[in-house]
Amino acid sequence: MRRFLDTTNLFRGLVLALVATLASAVYLAYEYLVVQRGYVAEQLAGGAFAPRFTLDIVGAFVALFISATAGFAWANGRRLVGFGSWRRVRRDLALIVPIGAAIALLSALVLDRTLYKPLLTAVRNPFKPLATALFEETICRWGILAIAFRLSRSVPVAVVLSAAFSVIVVLPVVQRHGATLETWALVAIIGIKFLLAIGYAVFFAHKGLLSTMALRFVAALPAPFLAIV
């Protein structure tokens, strides 16, 4: 706990949380006002939008700040690479680009055009790659994996727990539209999400946060421009 409360780690966590929150705010605003405006209009009547949006952003910031600080406190060490560096990202591009492209292709063919097809429209969020890279990786890898490692002292256990958390996070979205999906599709979505999360967690453990963020950005880059047909 002393390392978590260290002023340097708190300051670094604050900076990373603010950057990720800004990306999340832009993403959510576009999601609420454009992509899911019909659903939002049904759920949030009249002036309820502003309080709900504000509450979501505040909640995101709190989660990001805790996660970011936990990562700076506990994810830098002999068994975890930690935050990484831009020099490492450039060195890892030979892995990041082909792996990210393969994940993007898998997502387009298996998830978007097959399993997610009943849930999606042609309108996509152009801010998804940046928000995914910053928000999900800060919380699921930098935060949850670091906390799990701190408690278990085992990288494999931390990898599995962080992957399970990643799946739990997306379950409400899947369940919201569950009535339109077959049971096999729900199981397949959860299984693929879990395997991808395992892969991201292993990559993070060996390459660090910045390289994993770059991988997530590349993997999500085509998503906003895919037409669901």
Q: What is the mean pLDDT of residues 56-77?
A: 93
What's the confidence (pLDDT) of residue 77?
78
pLDDT score for 205: 94
pLDDT tens digit sequence for 123-135: 678 888 899 899 9
Alpha helices in the chain (DSSP H): 7-30, 37-43, 49-74, 86-106, 128-131, 146-152, 155-176, 183-207, 209-220
How far from chain centre, in Å, is Cα 199? 13
Q: Look over the chain and give the mean of its residue pLDDT values, rounded to a whole number.
A: 86
Cβ within 8 Å of residue 145, ≥6 positions away = 75, 80, 158, 159, 161, 162, 201, 204, 205
* Dist. CA 23–CA 133, nearest whole Å: 10
Confidence of residue 175 (pLDDT cuts 50, 70, 90): low
| Least reliable range by pLDDT among 24-33, 171-180, 196-205 | 171-180
pLDDT at residue 174, rounded to an integer: 64
Neighbours of 209 (CB within 10 A): 25
Spatial contact of 70 and 145, defined as CB atoms under 8 Å apart: no
Q: Is 203 exposed, middle or buried (0-12, 13-18, 19+ CB in 10 A)?
A: buried
Closest by CA position to 27, among listed 131, 122, 137, 121: 131
Task: Express as a percent the part of the chain with pLDDT over 90.
Answer: 55
Name which residue leads in pLDDT, 180 or 110: 110
Q: Taking the CA atoms of 140, 141, 145 and 150 in sequence, report the sign of the dihedral they define.
A: negative
Per residue, what are the HEC states of 111-174?
HHHHHCHHHCCCCCCCCHHHHHHHHHHHHHHHHHHHHHHHHHCCHHHHHHHHHHHHHHHHHHHH
* Nearest partner of 144 among 42, 66, 41, 44, judged by Cα: 66
Model confidence band, residue 229 (pLDDT cutoffs 50, 70, 90)? very low
At 73, the amino acid letter reads: A
Residue 76: its pLDDT value, please? 83
Report residue 35's pLDDT band, with 50, 70 and 90 as the boundaries.
confident
Statement: residue 120 has pLDDT above 70:
no
